[in-house]
């Protein structure tokens, strides 16, 4: 009898050493009436903790895109393109295809990243906006197209950045100043803003021009990027990049 107990105890220890780690990753679901027990995978995520976005190889749309429908009944898809290469890109085109619940194509729309030149090992945002298609069920992204002869961004440092959420207008505003640290003039200076929620998802992508539009060497000018149409109360962080055309 003692030998049997030792065998049972040893087997139980082995079972628990295997089962306990597994139980950390499963959830037990019991049907009503206790007729069956199912073990299902459980993905755990800390509430409010930004989740890192995995960077795929090459040039790709990151998986942190979202969409919203505005008051004009337009669907807006916002996301980021990641350039995980050593080439500076330009004219990065995003094509979105909309399908109904029978997987029939019903609409196609395209846009470009707001940053005209996407530097190597960097990312930038895009927004696809169109009138919401009737009976749409889901959308997919077509393969990206782009040129590999882009230019690095001009040296246009940003200072005095601040962001404010307006709860009355349900809008978000980013203010700041841009200085031209190049040795030549930069035309059409465009700050581009990306808003993220606490999970690292893109919830806004907009651009504006600095107040002076063009900047001479050493000149500074202010800007304000306005985000409207979406739900920005969940905004957690933002990013600003500056594009411009060297004279």
Q: Report, as ranges of residue numbers, the positions in the chain whose pLDDT lies below 70.
A: 1-55
Mean of all residue pLDDT scores within the chain: 83
User: How far, in Å, CA of 62 to CA of 55, rounded?
Assistant: 7
pLDDT on residue 119: 97
Give pLDDT, residue 54.
58
Residue 247 confidence (pLDDT): 75
Bridge partners (DSSP) of residue 112 are 93
- Contact call for residues 244 and 194 (beta carbons, < 8 A): no
- Phi, psi values for residue 120, rounded to 5°: -60, 145
Confidence at residue 57, expressed as pLDDT on a 0 to 100 scale: 80
Q: Is 117 exposed, middle or buried (0-12, 13-18, 19+ CB in 10 A)?
A: buried
What is the pTM assigned to this prediction?
0.77
> ∠ CA 133-135-140 to the nearest 5 degrees?
65
d(Cα 157, Cα 180) in Å, to the nearest integer? 7
Tokens, residue 68: 């919203």
pLDDT at site 56: 73
Report the alpha-carbon distance of residue 132 to residue 178 in Å, rounded: 36
E strand intervals along the chain? 26-30, 37-41, 58-61, 66-69, 74-84, 89-99, 105-112, 117-118, 122-131, 138-141, 145-147, 158-166, 171-179, 186-197, 202-207, 220-227, 235-246
The conformation of residue 19, written as its DSSP 8-state character, comes to H
């Amino acid at each position: 009898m003692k030998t049997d107990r030792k065998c049972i105890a040893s087997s139980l220890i082995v079972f628990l050493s295997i089962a306990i780690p597994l139980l950390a990753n499963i959830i037990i679901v019991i049907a009503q009436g206790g007729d069956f027990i199912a073990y299902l995978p459980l993905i755990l995520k800390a509430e409010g903790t930004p989740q890192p976005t995995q960077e795929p190889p090459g040039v790709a749309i990151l998986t942190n895109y979202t969409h919203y429908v505005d008051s004009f009944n337009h669907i807006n898809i916002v996301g980021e393109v990641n350039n995980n290469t050593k080439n500076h890109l330009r004219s990065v085109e995003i094509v979105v295809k909309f399908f109904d619940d029978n997987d029939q194509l019903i609409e196609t729309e395209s846009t470009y990243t707001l940053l005209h030149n996407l530097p190597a090992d960097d990312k930038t945002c895009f927004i696809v906006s169109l009138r919401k298609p009737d009976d749409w069920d889901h959308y997919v992204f077509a393969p990206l197209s782009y040129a590999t002869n882009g230019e690095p961004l001009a040296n246009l440092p940003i200072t005095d950045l601040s962001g404010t959420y307006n709860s009355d207008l349900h809008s978000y505003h980013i203010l700041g100043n841009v200085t031209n640290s190049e040795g030549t003039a930069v035309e059409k200076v465009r700050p581009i803003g990306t808003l993220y929620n606490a999970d690292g998802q893109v919830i806004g992508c907009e651009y504006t021009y600095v107040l002076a539009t063009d900047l001479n060497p050493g000149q500074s000018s202010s800007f304000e990027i306005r985000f409207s149409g979406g739900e920005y109360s969940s905004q957690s962080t933002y990013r600003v990049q500056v594009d411009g055309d060297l004279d």
